[in-house]
Amino acid sequence: MKWDRNTQLLALAVVSGLGVIVYLYRNQLGVIVADQAEKYWPLPASGEPYRSIIQSAATDYGVPFDLIARDLYQESRFNPNAHNASGADGIAQLIPRFYPGVNTRDPSQAIPAQAQSLANYYDRFGTWAEALAAYDWGPGNVDNAQNLYGDNWLANAPTEARKYVGQILTDVQIEPLPVGALT
């Protein structure tokens, strides 16, 4: 069943007083109790100020709350002012030229942009491991590695990408670790 955005918001509004969250997860309607948002990885204190933004992004884009939170921790340790030498910026370490119109230092803009990217990569590649690798290493690199190495693509990726995927999916166990993931 595919629900349009207005129907999703209506369903959310109807049950919000009951302490549940209605969400669309990869085009399937689901319901969770609000305090069960952290099924796999507990949000550390440094992430608490961003809880509601993460929950909204998870609901809006169908990305597990834990995956968004753990990825933010991996990227910046929840630091909205983080910056690295490659030009990645903000809490989600977005490269501004790839996110025009997004203030990468504003968590209320950066976190939804991150979740939307992860959702798009999941739709494109089919697994969270591939989505995470695309977010970290770039979708073109994932495509190339898959074309060259098939199912063994991650084992032939750079160590940083292998660790990135392995560390996040070890903590957020939503699917098996792919071959080559490093923890």
Mean of the pLDDT values across residues 60-70?
A: 97
3-state secondary structure of 4: coil
pLDDT digits (tens, 9 = 90+) for 98-135: 999 999 999 999 999 999 999 999 999 999 999 999 99
pLDDT digits (tens, 9 = 90+) for 135-180: 999 999 999 999 999 999 999 999 999 999 999 999 999 999 999 9
pLDDT band at 27 (very low <50, low <70, confident <90, very high): very low
Q: Is the pLDDT of residue 18 over 50?
A: no
Kindly state whether residue 100 falls inside one of the protein's structural domains: yes
For residues 78 and 123, membership in a common domain is answered with: yes
The pLDDT value recorded for residue 31 is: 44
Does the CA dihedral 13-120-116-146 come out positive or negative? positive
Containing domain of residue 109, as a range?
A: 40-171
For residue 105, which of 119, 91, 125 has the smallest C-alpha distance?
A: 91
3-state secondary structure of 28: strand
Kindly state whether residue 181 falls inside one of the protein's structural domains: no
For residues 16 and 83, membership in a common domain is answered with: no
Q: Which residues contact 143 (CB under 8 A, 6 or more apart)?
A: none
Q: Which residues contact 17 (CB under 8 A, 6 or more apart)?
A: none
Kindly state whether residue 91 falls inside one of the protein's structural domains: yes
For residues 136 and 95, membership in a common domain is answered with: yes
The pLDDT value recorded for residue 7 is: 47
For residues 25 and 112, membership in a common domain is answered with: no
For residues 8 and 97, membership in a common domain is answered with: no
For residues 16 and 45, membership in a common domain is answered with: no
Q: Is the pLDDT of residue 40 over 90?
A: no
Q: Which of 38, 48, 75, 130 is catalytic?
A: 75
For residues 71 and 150, membership in a common domain is answered with: yes
For residues 165 and 118, membership in a common domain is answered with: yes
Q: How far is CA 50 from the centre of its chain?
A: 14
For residues 83 and 110, membership in a common domain is answered with: yes
Q: What's this model's pTM, rounded to 2 decimal places? A: 0.80
For residues 111 and 167, membership in a common domain is answered with: yes
Kindly state whether residue 146 falls inside one of the protein's structural domains: yes
Contact 99, 113 (CB under 8 A): yes
Kindly state whether residue 56 falls inside one of the protein's structural domains: yes
pLDDT digits (tens, 9 = 90+) for 73-96: 999 999 999 999 999 999 999 999
The yes-or-no answer on residue 75 being catalytic is yes
For residues 55 and 115, membership in a common domain is answered with: yes
How many independent structural domains does the chain possess?
A: 2
For residues 137 and 100, membership in a common domain is answered with: yes
For residue 79, which of 70, 90, 69, 87 has the smallest C-alpha distance?
A: 90
